[in-house]
Amino acid sequence: GQQLNQSPQSMFIQEGEDVSMNCTSSSIFNTWLWYKQEPGEGPVLLIALYKAGELTSNGRLTAQFGITRKDSFLNISASIPSDVGIYFCAGHIRGKSTFGDGTTLTVKP
Amino acid sequence: GAVVSQHPSRVICKSGTSVKIECRSLDFQATTMFWYRQFPKQSLMLMATSNEGSKATYEQGVEKDKFLINHASLTLSTLTVTSAHPEDSSFYICSATDRANTEAFFGQGTRLTVV
């Protein structure tokens, strides 16, 4: 099946720093999705990308859908303590999502 | 975004019993619902895909007789873990998509503990 490589696996940053994470795949997707999951909760959709090359922002979050449709990145600017959690990318095609392994973000005040 | 409600959020059951988990789309018609399983510090693993009114499609390695899925209406899918064992303890999450199938919205998840 399709697989996504998400990196980095974890990040430890200082409050105020910018964060960047990305996902790559050997297969193309029609939609790229970025989710955040907090302990004991289901993932919450942050940003959805629908077109190759699309760059979308949601507050301090910016994500891009790669031109080849095989990759995507998520940037978080000026991180704050409540940004902690696990961030998952997901590629979506034919109604099915494939998830990356997640990036665990820790923000030190 | 669209709202998906999953119930219960936590359940503890005895080994050998069955547990039913519900997933409801509250403000849209979910033509397709997905069931995932997540072990601690791991990603979500797709267990099965269910389309309203038809049999679920199970991923390789998932026992369909153990994890019974019913999607009888456009707003409700259920996952029943039959004859649960401690190794079935996990976090189970559903997601739902509408006819456009471009995004998936997740329920809150169910923490199942089998003792």
Q: What is the pLDDT along chain A (109 residues), one digit of tens a residue?
A: 567 999 999 999 999 999 999 999 999 998 999 999 998 888 888 999 989 999 999 999 999 999 999 999 999 999 999 999 999 999 988 767 889 999 999 999 8
pLDDT of residue B61: 93
pLDDT at A3: 79
Token pair recorded at residue A102: 């997640």
CA distance readout (Å), A34 to B6, B15, B25:
21, 36, 20
CA closest to B5 among chain A residues: A42
Q: What length is written for chain A?
A: 109
Strand residues in B1-115 grouped as ranges (E): 4-7, 10-13, 19-25, 32-38, 44-51, 57-58, 67-73, 76-81, 90-97, 105-106, 110-114
pLDDT at site B101: 66
Angle CA(B62)–CA(B63)–CA(B66) in degrees, nearest 5? 130
- Alpha-carbon distance A7 to nearest alpha carbon in chain B (angstroms): 13
Burial class (CB in 10 A: 0-12, 13-18, 19+), B42: middle
Reading the block at residue B31, the tokens are 């033509």
Residues 6+ apart with CB under 8 A from B46: A96, A97, A98, B34, B35, B36, B59
The dihedrals phi and psi of A47, each to the nearest 5 degrees, come to -145, 140
Compute the C-alpha angle B60/B54/B46, nearest 5°. 30
Chain A residues touching B32 at Cβ < 8 A: 95
Q: What is the pLDDT of residue B89?
A: 95
Interface test with A, best of B31, B32, B38, B43 (most A CBs within 10 A): B43
What local confidence, expressed as pLDDT, does residue A2 receive? Answer: 63
Q: Which residue of B has its CA nearest to A41?
A: B108
Low-confidence ranges of chain B (pLDDT < 70): 1, 101-102
Q: Which amino acid is at B41?
A: K
Q: Quick one: pLDDT at residue A96?
A: 76
Q: How far is A12 from chain B (nearest CA, A)?
A: 16
Cβ-Cβ pairs closer than 8 A, A with B, add up to 57
Please tell me the predicted confidence (pLDDT) of residue A1.
55
Closest chain B residue to the Cα of A104, Cα to Cα:
B41
Predicted pLDDT at B44: 87
* Residue carrying the six token digits 């978080």: A76
| Partner-chain residue, chosen from A43, A100, A102, that has the shortest CB–CB distance to B106 | A43
DSSP B87: G
Which residues, including other chains, have CB under 8 Å from residue B100's CB and lie 6 or more apart? none
